[in-house]
Amino acid sequence: MPALSASERDAFLREPGLLMRFATVKPDGAPYATAIWYAFEDGALWFTPRKESVWRQHLLRDPRIAVVIDEQALPYRKVVIEGRAQLAFELGRDAEWRDRYRRIAMRYIPAEGADHYIAETIDQTRALFTLPLASARVRSWRMPVGEEPYEGIWHPRYYAEGSKLARS
């Protein structure tokens, strides 16, 4: 399968508007999935739960997280990350990382709107988590581009024996 190079992956993760879809582990062991805003900076994903976010409690109890960041148009790039989230700032320390929070907001709304959003929600206490890619399992994929062949776009286990794209 065509994987993204590290530089392609990093550029993709920096593209504005992409949501971070992820799953945490609930106390009963079941997955809990949601989608949020994020920023990719310093080789890590940065994301912020509000005080009452259920998934904040999940990560404090069990930091394992599975993330998918993808796009809805060709070449259908996606990055899948499995790792352990790290608490960078606990609740109540928002002022220490508000610049990063503004950069997160600006990935989804223009600067003026981001400033307004922050001003309107500043009294909602947040924490800040990070997921460094260097300590996580990271996979990526995309459809072939241009004249690239379709052979190898899937994992070998998916090809039916004797099919047109099966590997020998």
Core vs surface per residue 20-33: b (16+ CB within 10 A) or e: bebbbbeeeeeeee
Q: Tokens for 118?
A: 């922050």
Q: What is the pTM of this model?
A: 0.90
Q: Give the pLDDT score at 167.
A: 58
Below-70 pLDDT ranges, the chain: 1, 152, 167-168
Ordered structural domains, the chain, with CATH: 6-158 (2.30.110.10)
Q: Give the pLDDT score at 148.
A: 81
- For residue 32, give every residue at least 6 positions away whose Cβ sits within 8 Å of its Cβ, in sequence order, or none: 23, 24, 25, 26, 54, 55, 58
The alpha carbon of 64 is separated from its chain's Cα centroid by a whole number of angstroms, namely 14
Q: Give the pLDDT score at 69.
A: 98
Residue-wise pLDDT tens digits, 4-29: 999 999 999 999 999 999 999 999 99
Q: Give the pLDDT score at 161.
A: 85
